[in-house]
Structure formats: C-alpha cells, structure tokens
Structure 1
Amino acid sequence: MNPFDLIKNFPIRYKLLFIYSSCFFVIMTLSSLIIFSIVKQNVQANIESELKNSTTAIHNTIKTAVSVSIKNRLRGVAEKNYEIIQRLYDHAHQGEISETEAKNRATDIILSQSIGISGYICILDGHGRVLKHPKKSLEGLDISDHRFVQEMIAIKNGYIEYEWQNPGDAYPRPKALYLTYFKPWNWMITVSSYRKEFLKLVDIDDFKEGILNLKFGKTGYSYVMDTKGNVIIHPELTGINVFTDKRFSGQFFREMLDKKNGKLEYAWKNPGETRYREKLVFFNYIPEYDWVVASSSYLDEIRSPLYAIKQIIILVGMAALVIFIPITVFLSDTITKPLHSLMEKFKEDIAGGFSNRSVEMESSDEVGQLAFYYNSFMDRLATYDRELLSEISER
C-alpha cells in the first residue's frame, strides 16, 4: 500500500501534525547539519592555525635562542682571551717579561683552545693579514679581500656570520665569529665556529622551559627531535631515541622526519596512559641544526566544543518539538472543531429533516465561510420545504 494513501485517510488533525512535524524535522536536521559543519570547520581551522603558528613561533624562537646563545658563547671566549692578552701586555709593560715573550705566551694560549668540534681562535692584524692560525699555511696571508674581513676591519669588535673554506675543505662552510680588538698590538682576536656545530655550544635549557610551557587543549604540547630519532625536548621522552626504544613502532616518526614540514594525524599513547588517542601534529624543519619542531594536540580535545554544540542542538530541537506539537494541535483544532460542528449539524438535519438550525460562525476564514454557505443552503432548503408543503396542502 502506498503510504500516502494511508496518510490521505488520516483525520485532518493528524495530517497537519504529520506534515508540520515532518517539515520541522527536515528543516531542523538540515539546519543542524549545516551549522555543525560550519562550526566544525571553524574550530578545526582555528586549532590548526594555532598549532601551525605555534610551531612557526617555536621554530623562530629556537633559531633566535641558538643564535643568541652562540653569540654570547663566542663573545665570552673572545673577551676572556682579551683579558689574558691584557694581563700579559701589562706584565711586559711593567718589565716582568719581554713583549715578544708576552706575545708568544698569548699565541700559545689562544692556539691551544678549540671551539666546539672544529672551531678555533685566530689572530689577524688590523689590516686583514693572518698573524696566527691553527692552519700554519694561512699565517702571513692577506685575506682583506674577503667581505667578512673588511667588515671585521671596519667594526673591530662584534659578531659576524660568513662562509669560510680552510685548506683541505671540499667547499666553503657557514661560520660565525666574535672578534675583539687589542689596540696596543694591533691584534684582532677572532673566535669562530661552524654553524653545523653550533648545537655543541648551546645550552638547551635556555629555551626548553618555554617550549614545554606551551599547551594546546588540555594535554597537547610541543616537542623537538632530530632526524635520527633523538628526542631533544619533550614532556615525557627527552633523551630517548624513538627508533631504538621498543615502546614505539617508529612508523609515525619516520614519516614525519622524512616529510620534515607539514601536518599528520596519528595514534599516540604516552607512557603511563592506557589507550591510544588520535592526534594532530604540525611540524617544521630547522636545517641548520637538523631538528624538527612539532606542536601536537589530541583530536578529541580539539573537537570537544563540537560535542557540546551537538548536545545543545539536540536539546534545542527537542524543546522546539515539545513546543511545536501543542501549537500544531491548537491550530488544527481551530480548523477541525468548526468542521466537526458542521458535520454534526448535517447529521441532525439528515436524521430529523430540515429545520432552521444554523451553525455559529466563529471566524471569517474559509471554515467560517463554509458555515455561512451551510446556513444559507439550509435556509434555502427550509424555504423550499415550506413552499412544497404549502403546495401539497393546497391540493
């Protein structure tokens, strides 16, 4: 049987209730889906933007912190050696030792030091000629044609980043130096290190706390690791290698470290937790240090506002339906009650003959007009009835 045929035979009240309720349900469902979809996209976009911006900020913070740390480290070494040279100069000036011996002692002390793995200290004169260098083949060379040396000559004291190729090196490598100028001997003391070795000079504690203090949602966090799987900074896993630690499969980390920049969704369980939870992570690569900086958050925490919104939509829909049904019943009664009254009048007229029974007009709408036409029709029938009876009696 066609369901519409069944509905067609329903009383008007139930037809109206069914039609209005169906329309209400469809409209509420579509509206809720649209609102929920828009809110979901906005919440997701806002969280992703926060994670992305935080990762970028951490990336820049680390680069700045490392740069400042290196600068301070090189400056500290340069200033310490300046103090040593100053003391030896004072001894020579006071006649305790000769100036030649003072310079030799200063040179021995300077060349005995190393900075990081292969960084070093060397001495140039104020015109850019190499006086003392760990590579003896460079001593005596005029390197003032190099731009960074010209900058050294100009500033005499300060920090410079440049590229340098020592004898035996296959290609120039990025370096940084801090120089101080000892005017009595016309010496520029330069303390330099290769950028790839900067991390050996960095105190990670300088920026570790700032990274660990970042939170996303209730328990989301940021972390740093290198491309070999060593965890540099993490709330729980600092110091481990995710590729050798048997607690982790390493698959997600391999994908992230191979990709180096971007975002991923993955399942994760911290030590001490009982179940895996889905996470979203944004990550950036710092090539100078071979580090990957990541910011992550759990998807259930990201979407928690959506669950609240979903419940609100359901409650509002149910409340609206509770209000809507009585209103629909009331409206249907304004139609069906006059119709029922009219039907009763018809039944009485059919059973008892035509009489001057009239239906009270309670409104001027279609139902009221129907009552008016009924009254007019019954008046006409009553008139015809009287006239017919009159004619019969006359015969």
Structure 2
Amino acid sequence: MTMFNKSRLSYKIFITLSGVLFSLFFFGTWIFYVLIQNILNERLEENLHSTVAGARQVVETSATLSSRSYLRSLAEQNRNVIEDLHRQEKEGRLSRQEAQLRARDILLAQRLASSGYIYIINSAGHLAVHPKKEMEGADMHEHWLARMQVERKQGFVEYEWQNPGEAEPRQKILAMEYFAPWDWIISVTAYRDELAQLVNIADIRDEVLAVKIGRDGYLAIFDRQGEILAHPYLKGNIHNLPKENADLLQGFIETKEGRQTYDGVDPRSGVTREKIAVFSTLDNFGWLVVATGTIEDFYAPLATLRRIFLCLFTVAVVASIVVSIYLSRSITAPLNRLLAYLSSHSDEPRPILPVSTEKDEIEELSDYFRNYVRHLHESNRRLAELLEEQKQTALDLSIFKEVFLNIVEGISITDAQGTIIQANPAFEKITGYTAAEAIGSNPKLLKSNRHPPEFYQEMWASIQEKGFWTGEIWNKRKDGDIYPEWLTISAVRDQNGQTSHYAAVFNDITTVVRQQERIQFLAYHDHLTELPNRLLVLERMHQAFSACRRHGGVIACMILDLDNFKTINDSSGHEVGDLVLKEFVARILPTVRVEDTFGRMGGDEFVLLFHNLTKEVEHILPVVARLHEKVEEPFFVEAQKIYMTLSVGIAIFPSDAETKEDLLKRADLALYSAMQIQGNSSSFFSMEMETEVKKKLYYLGRIRSGLENREFLPYFQPKVDLFSGKVIGMEALARWQSAGKLISPADFIPISEQSGLIVPLSKQIYEQAFRETAKLLAQGHTLTVSVNLAPSQLQSPNFLEELVEIQEKSTLPARFIELEVTESSLMKDVEQSRRILDQLDRLGFKISIDDFGTGYSSLQYLKQIPRHTLKIDMSFVSGIGTDLDDEKLIETIVLMARQFELTIVAEGVETPSQETFLRNLGCHYGQGYLYGKPMDITIFTEWLEKRSDETRLLLTIS
C-alpha cells in the first residue's frame, strides 16, 4: 500500500480501472459462453438429421435424373432407328408397311427392367405398336394418358397405373419422342419401383462421393443385398468385409432408418476414432443412404466456440488494459504536457521515465516553476549580447547588398540542392529572366544543350575537389538566344566545412567570341564568296580520305572553271567579275549536299568534293549536267546580260590518286582535257570511268532481260541464336543466275537501284523467298525471313499494296517476315518512310534497321519510326580483335539498342572469337560465314536439317 501511495498519479488510475474492467469482462464472457453452448448442442442434433435428409435428396434426385436420361436416350435411339427405316422407304428399298413391321419387331424386342416396355401411339390416339398384340389398333383417345401424349408428343410424364389383379396403383415414368413422317409417338415406360434396374450407378457415384461431411465424413450407398454401390474406399459386398463391419452395415439395412455411434478405423491413418452414422432407405430404389463422420468433426463448432470465447476474453483483457492506460493518460495528459513544455525550455530536462522518483506530477510541476524563474534572468542577459552582435551583422549585410546589386557581373546564389535563392540585376540583364522568375528554379533553365554530359561532370568534379570551377560555357537566354559566358562557380561552406550554398559569377563574352569566330572563319574561307578556301578544302579532303579508308567508298573531286572569265574581267572590270562569281556560287550551292564540300581555289577556279560515294560513280553525271544547266542561264549583272559556260574536271579517290595533292592535280588535268573541247564540257581523269558508264548501260539491258526470264532468285544465309545455337531465321539475298553462272550482286544491285529496276527485281525475290519460307514453316521449321527494302521502294506509291499481295499469296504470316531498311533509305524522305513503316508495323511485319552505324545514325529519326531489330554492319564486326575503335562502336550500338529494347543481329560473323565477343556483350543473333554462306533453297534445306539434328544431339547430351 505504501508503494501504491508513492506511485505516479497515472499509475494509480490505471490499476484501479483495469481491475474493475477485468472483472466485468470475465464474468460476462463466462455466462455468455454457457448459454451459447446449450444452444449449439440443440442445433447440432438437428443438423445431423438434416444432413442425411439432404444427402438422401441428392441421391434420389441423381438416380431419378439418371433413369430419366436412360428412358429419353432409349426413345431417341428408337427414333433414329425409325428414321433409318423411313430413309430406306424413301429410297424405295422398302415399302412403308415393310419398314413399319421391321420397326415394330425392333421395338418389341427391347426389354426395360422387369415390367417396362415400348409402345407406339399416333395423333389419333390409336395404338400402332404394343407388346400385347391384341391392343394394337385400339382407340385410346378417350383415355387421359393418350390425350396427354397426343397433346405433348415429346417429353416426360409421371403417372399412376393399376394393372388388373394389382391391389394398388403403381408409379410410372413415360418418355416420348415424336416421328412426324409416320405420325408415331414413340413411348418408353417403366415402373418407378423398378428404376434401380435402369440407373447406371456410375452416373451418380461421383456426385455422391463429392459430398463432404465435415473434414473426414462422406456418403455411401448400399442395396438390400449388401452390394456396395458408392463408397470412398470400399467395393464389392458388405459380407466380404470383416465380420464387425459387415454386422454393423447389415444392421443399418435391416433397420432402414436411424442414427448410431460406433468405433471406426481411419483407413488412411489406421487410428480408431469414435464416429456417428445417420442412415435412411430410398424405397423406390431399395437403396440405403448412409452419412457418416467423426464425432469430433460434428462437434467441431463447440471447440471453435471455446477458442472464440478464449480469444474474446483475451481481447477483452487487452482492451481493459488499453482503456485503462488511455483514461489514466487522458486524465494526467494536461499536467504532462505542461511538464513537457517546461522541460523543453529548461536547461535541466525532465527524465523521460521517472520510475525511481517519489514525486508525483503536481510536485514535479512546482520544481519546474522555480527553475523557470531562475533561467529567465539568465536569458535576458544573453538577449542583450545577441542584439549587439545583430547590429554589426546588419552593417556587413548592407555593404554586401550594395555590391550584389551594382556589380556588372551576373550573380546567382543557390542552396546546397542547386535551387536558386538569389539573383542580382546584372543576372536579369544578361539572361532575360527576372529574379522572381529565377528564384526557386534550377540553373538548368539556362542550359543550352551545346555541351555533352561529360562537360558538366568535369565541372562538378572540379567544384567538389577544389571548391570552384572557372571556364567558358554556352548558356541560353529567356528568349532562346544562346550566348557564351565566362563563369566562375564557388562552393560556400558553413562552420562545419559542409557545402551550404553555391555562388555563380559570370560575364557575357558574346562580342569576344564573335570576333574570334570571324578571325577563325576568314582563316579558312574565301573573303569574297565565303566558301571554304584551299586550306579548308585540303583539310576536308584529309578527313574524307580517312573516312573512306576506314569505311570504304570513293571520293569524287570536281574542279570547276568558268570559261572565258578572264575576258569578262578585262572587259567589264573586276567588280563585275566579282558579282558574276557571287551569282555563280549562289546558283551552285543549292545543288550541293550538306556533307559535301564546295570551295574556291582562287580566281574563277572552284572545287566540288563529293564524300562517301559508292564504288560506282555514274550518278556524278546527273550532277555535272545540273551544273551546266545552272551556268547556261544568263547572268544579269550591272544591267548586263552575260552568258557563261562551265568546264569540269573529275578525278576519283582512290582509283586516280592516293593523296589529296595528287587528286587535285589529276582533277586539274581532267579539267584541262575538258577545256580542250572548247569548254562547256566535262572529263574524267581515268578512261576506266567512262568504261564503267558503258558497263552500266550494258548491265541495264541484261537486267531487263533477266527480269523477263525470271533469272533472279533468293539465296538464304542463316541467322543463329548466339546463346542457344538454334537457327532462328535467314536473310534472303538477291542472286542473278544467267547462262548457268552467278553474277556478283555488286554488278547489278547498285545499277538496279539507280535505274528503278530494283522494284520489280525485289518483287521476284520476295515471291520466291516468302513461298519457300512458308514451305519450311509447314515442315516444322519456325523461321523468320529477312528481305531488304531499297530507298526507291519506300518512295513508290504502290509498294505497300504489292508487298501485302505477295505476302498473302505466299500464305506466309506477316509476323514471320522482317523488312530490312538502311538509315540512308530513311533519310530520302523521313515522313514518307515513317508513314509506310507505321502501316507495315500495324500489319504485323517486323522492321529491321540495317547497316546501323555506317550512315547517319540519327537517334532523332530512329525513335520516330517503328523498329524491332537493329543490325550491326559487318565492317565493325570484322574489326573485333584487331580494331579497338570498332569494338567500342559495337559496344555503344549494343547499349543503345538495349535502351530501345531492340533485338540485335551482328552481320559478318566469321570466327568463334567474334561470336564470343558479341555474345558477351549481349548481342542476340549472329549472321555470317561462321554458320553458313548464302545458299539456294535446296542446299539451305539440307543444311537446316543437318543443323537441327546436331542441335537436338547437343541438347540430348547436355
């Protein structure tokens, strides 16, 4: 009691309330449990009897339905027999009388149980067929049963029937089917007390055994002779069971209905358990239905009730404790909050758990008030000192503010997370953003996107390491103008050495940069035409030579000279000559591609450098023709109408020269040759180039003939899964077989593309490739065939309809067709290409980007078009193991393809080391001579069968 008196006020309240609530819950729970237990005992007895009644109903219903089904099926079978005889009658093989006599014999030969039979009655109520011959022809239309049959003609009828000599009527079931051609109502009837003979016990056994009683209880059915009709684990006759079990079940059969407890052995566990059986007899069938289960199963609700009340009692105890705690704390909460408040303003904090103190809350509160008065005097003294320090700080801030507002450099200050919190007027003037717009934003709003991510990574690495960064950077004003600035970013650290803010100071250096750019421009450009000068042309040639040696292709160098320009200069003056040169440049520039170089070498001599051409250069001729057309139009200068002509000399790298100096010299020699033809002409340095033009004309004629004779056919090169080794598809490559020889694709593909013949040529390849792939698919080879799309096909207005027509005729589903398109093809007309590829994608075709990395490699355009596969060009794959740059390019392409979730195919795989390198990068499929060269369909099919056998053998071994 002494300890209780010294306890905290909240503890005293808790003990008192919890004791009272515990007592109330305990007695209330006990009384409620006793009442519920008595009610449940009464309900359990009722449920036992209702269980067997329901089980009896299930069995009786199932048996009745089974017998009905039997009668109906018998009626339907006989109707089918009669229909067959009627068909023979219609065919003339039988007369109606013969057919009906045969039907009668068949019907009367059938027996149903002990007393059931089949008879025929017509719509007039006359018996056409009956087991009793004397009844046939009898008029039964006055009898109620006959009238009902005539009215319904089909279905079931249950009725009572009393035969002569029987004391009471018996229940019968009748099933009817109507055969209209003969006006016969086929009637199948049997007595209900004979239904057991009609029921197929297998029809209802599963339904009976599906009934569960408790956890281990079940239903069983026995007949009067002791045969076990349905039981979960017993079969045969009860008299073959152990005597104890046989006597028990025989007693059930003799008693017919009742309830009995007994000890039964669980067949699964072998444990003897007390069980209860409730049984009842189905008189119509002579069956005994037994529902049995363990006592503990039937009385499981009582055990559950005990557990529920135990849980409720536990919850009640916990609830009483919670309520007591809540009330005790609610009563003392105001005092505790006041104590907590005083504790938070005191230099001597109150203990969190004052277990050992002998003071209650009231006494503790008095102590805090005394301490509070003492600390108040100390706080007043400290406040006076802080006010003095604040005055000095305000003076310093005033000076800094004036500097911040009036300095010419832009200043922005951010917090540690990079959010702008201050910006001065110079910042507003330079960037165009007001301070209000900038504050709360990230400095990224000034980002120009002219610097790569590595630039900013190095910047922040310097700030983290040195505490500052200084350098030139390009930013963007609010109006979108991009400008250069000299920027210094410094980290501001607090007393603990942690970065709390960042300060950026910058100057707009646009004027300085423009001056530098102008000086740089004049160093590499002609001052009159602003075209690249000789120095820049030579530099561009050097770059083009390097790219050409690395990736293949050719470079065309044209030297242009205005014929008789010196005469114009001498007669009209240099000012007119300069204007003519400017007009000439203005006319030529629109015909020059962005990637090519147009420069002035001096005087009236210009150079045109065509980069990244294919090995055939015939398409240069149309360019030269356009140049002549541009110059042939008269020049209107200073009210003068001047006519000019143009001479062009052409040299090719690498066939004509190995160095840029030699290439220019030989182009000059070709120019001299052209000028010897009295101007207005062009000449190639090499006579072999003219031979190539003739070769093109020769091949154009042969290609047209080959198309007429269908000499073009697909050769198939397999594509293999780099991880499983399984063949997943093949690429159909165009081959030309003429006069028994194969002609190199390099001799006819480029010419076909330039002339437009690639469209009918591709059509022939598609027809054969799709048809052969469909055959392979039918043989069990699930393969995807890839075919190439030429640029001219994407621009053809009928391409889509023709492709779909070919695909549908081949019966090959679109999902097994992959269309390969190069980057350069897409760039011809990006919008048209995207529209066509979108339609192909919706139709189910797969889209593959071919030779990726050798063209534009534009991610901007790549993301706009549908794509499923990306193919790495063989020029990169060939460098694996020998060229580190090629390996890095492949790694970059694979990484990019993964980001776009594309399937990756590597072309030109020729060695196991290349295959291993690609597989380690995550490349999905490979194509090349390591797996197989391009083959005609016969050789490819043989190769495929052999490859499949090898793959299956490897899988079996593994």
TM-score category (smaller protein): 0.5 to 0.7
Match of 2:261 in 1: 265
**8 Å contact 1:52–1:295 — kept in the other structure?**
no
Offset, 1:293? 1.9
Normalising to structure 1: TM-score of the pair? 0.63
Whether the 8 Å CA contact 2:194–2:284 is kept in 1: the answer is no
Q: Does 1:108 align with 2:105?
A: yes
**Among 295, 298, 301, which residue is 2:297 paired with?**
301
Mapped contact 2:266–2:273 kept (Cα < 8 A): no
The aligned residue for residue 372 of structure 1 is none
Contact 1:280–1:297 (8 Å) recurs in 2 = yes
- Seen in structure 2, the aligned counterparts of structure 1 residues 205 and 82 have a Cα distance that, compared at 3 Å, is same
Match of 2:122 in 1: 125
- The change in CA–CA distance for 1:227 and 1:96 in structure 2 (over 3 A counts) is closer
Change (3 A) 1:262 1:29: farther
Q: Which residue of 1 aligns with 2:249?
A: 253
Q: Are the equivalent residues in 1 in contact too, given 2:119–2:129 (CA < 8 A)?
A: yes
Structure 2 Cα separation of the partners of residues 64 and 312 of structure 1:
38
* One-letter identity of the residue aligned with 1:132: V
* Counterpart residue number, 2:74: 77
State the shift of 1:104 in Å: 0.9
Q: What letter is aligned with 1:293?
A: V
Q: For 2:138, what is the secondary structure of its paired residue?
A: coil
Question: Structure 1 pair 255/97, CA: closer, same or farther in 2 (3 Å)?
Answer: closer
State the match for 1:240 in structure 2.
237
Tell me whether 1:214 sits opposite 2:215 in the alignment.
Answer: no
- 1:182 equivalenced with 2:179 (yes/no): yes
What is the distance in 1 between the residues matched to 2:303 and 2:72? 55
1:277 aligns with 2:278: no
Partner amino acid, structure 2, of 1:300: E
Change in CA separation of 1:38 and 1:260 when aligned onto 2, cut-off 3 Å: farther
* Kept after mapping to 2: 8 A contact 1:43/1:303: no
Asked if structure 1 preserves the Cα contact closer than 8 Å seen for 2:44 and 2:299, the reply is: no
| Aligned residue type for 2:277 | V
Q: Check the 8 A contact 1:218/1:301 in 2, yes or no.
A: yes
Is residue 148 of structure 2 the alignment partner of residue 151 of structure 1?
yes
- Find the aligned partners of 1:159 and 1:206 in 2 and give their Cα distance: 20
Superposed CA deviations along residues 277-317 of structure 1, whole A, max 9, x for unmatched, are 32223333321111222222211333455457668989979
For structure 2, the residue ranges without an aligned partner over 5 or more in a row are 1-25, 318-958
Amino acid at match of 1:265: T
Is 1:291 the counterpart of 2:321? The answer is no
1:379 counterpart residue number: none
| Residues in 1 aligned to 2:213 and 2:84: alpha-carbon distance in whole angstroms | 54
Q: What is the rounded CA distance, in whole Å, between the counterparts of 1:72 and 1:311 in structure 2? A: 49
Residues in 1 aligned to 2:205 and 2:53: alpha-carbon distance in whole angstroms: 16
* Range 153-162 or range 84-93, more displaced: 84-93
Structure 1 distance, partners of 2:181, 2:207, is 44
**Alpha-carbon distance in 2 for matches of 1:267, 1:178:** 46
Is residue 2:228 matched to residue 1:231? Answer: yes
- CA shift, 1:120, in A, is 1.7
Q: Summarize the Cα distance change of 1:59–1:305 in structure 2 as closer, same or farther, 3 Å threshold.
A: closer
One-letter amino acid of the structure 2 residue matched with residue 102 of structure 1: A
Q: Secondary structure at the match of 2:118?
A: strand
CA distance in 2, matches of 1:99, 1:312: 79
Which among 182, 188, 192 is matched to residue 195 of structure 1?
A: 192
| In 2, Cα distance between equivalents of 1:308 and 1:180 | 56
1:36-69 alpha-carbon deviations (Å, 9 max, x no partner): 6544444444444444333222222222222222
Q: Does 1:89 align with 2:50?
A: no
Distance change >3 Å, CA 313–CA 173, structure 1 → 2: closer
What residue in structure 2 maps to residue 9 of structure 1?
none
Please list the CA deviations of residues 105-152 of structure 1 after superposition, one character each: whole Å capped at 9, or x if unmatched.
Answer: 111111111223432211122233322212223333333343322211
Cα pair distance change 1:309/1:114, threshold 3 Å: closer
Distance 2:44 2:206 in 1: 22
AA aligned to 2:143 is: H
Q: For residues 96 and 309 of structure 2, what CA distance do their matches in structure 1 show?
A: 88
Aligned-residue RMSD, C-alpha: 3.6
CA deviation profile, 1:216-275 (whole Å, cap 9, x unmatched) = 33212222223443322121223322x553343545434433443343323323446645
In the alignment, the residues of structure 2 paired with residue 158 and residue 129 of structure 1 have an alpha-carbon distance, to the nearest angstrom, of 19
Kindly provide the amino acid, as one letter, of the partner of residue 109 in structure 1. I
285-294 vs 271-280, which moves further? 271-280
Q: Counterpart of 1:248 in 2: which secondary structure?
A: helix
2-structure distance, mates of 1:174, 1:115:
15
Percent identity at matched positions?
Answer: 31
User: Structure 1 residue 160: deviation in Å?
Assistant: 1.0
Cα contact 2:58–2:208 (8 A) shared by 1: no
> Equivalents in 1 of 2:201, 2:107: separation in Å?
27
| 8 Å Cα contact 2:59/2:208 also seen in 1 | no
Corresponding residue SS for 1:184: helix
What is the one-letter code of the residue matched to 1:298?
T
1:137-171 deviation digits (Å, cap 9, x = unpaired):
33333333433222111101111112334567665
Contact 1:128 1:153 (C-alpha < 8 Å) held by counterparts = yes
Distance 1:89 1:45, change over 3 A: same
Which residue is equivalent to 2:6? none
- The CA deviation string for residues 11-47 of structure 1, in whole angstroms up to 9 with x for no partner, is xxxxxxxxxxxxxxxxx89985x66654444444444
Counterpart amino acid of residue 259 in structure 2: K
Partner of 1:162: 159
Whether contact under 8 Å (1:125, 1:186) holds in the other structure is: yes
Check conservation: 1:69, 1:202, Cα contact below 8 A.
Answer: yes
Letter in structure 1 aligned against 2:94? I
Instruction: Map 1:134-145 to 2 at 5 A.
Output: 134-145=131-142
Instruction: Output the CA distance in 1 between the equivalents of 2:184 and 2:175.
Output: 14
Per the alignment, residue 330 of structure 1 pairs with none
Aligned letter for 1:218? R
Q: TM-score, normalised by structure 2?
A: 0.28
Residue 342 of structure 1 is matched in structure 2 by none
**SS of 2:214 mapped into structure 1:** coil
2:244 partner SS = coil
Aligned equivalent of 1:355 = none
The Cα of 1:88 is off from its aligned counterpart by 1.6
Spell out, residue by residue over 1:313-364, the C-alpha distance to the aligned partner (whole angstroms, 9 max, x if none): 89979xx9xxxxxxxxxxxxxxxxxxxxxxxxxxxxxxxxxxxxxxxxxxxx
Q: CA, structure 1 residues 299+40, in 2 after alignment: closer, same or farther (shift >3 Å)?
A: farther
Q: Secondary structure at the match of 1:180?
A: strand
Runs of 5+ unmatched residues, structure 1: 1-27, 321-395
Letter aligned with residue 189 of structure 2: S
Contact 1:44 1:302 in 2 (8 A): no
- Mark the CA change 1:84 to 1:169 in structure 2 (over 3 Å): closer, same or farther: farther
**Pair 1:126–1:118, CA change in 2 (3 A):** same
Pairs within 5 Å for 1:33-48: 37-48=34-45
Q: 2: CA distance between counterparts of 1:313 and 1:158?
A: 57
**Aligned equivalents of 2:174, 2:310: Cα separation in 1:** 65
Query: Structure 1: how far apart are the matches of 2:269 and 2:47?
Result: 25
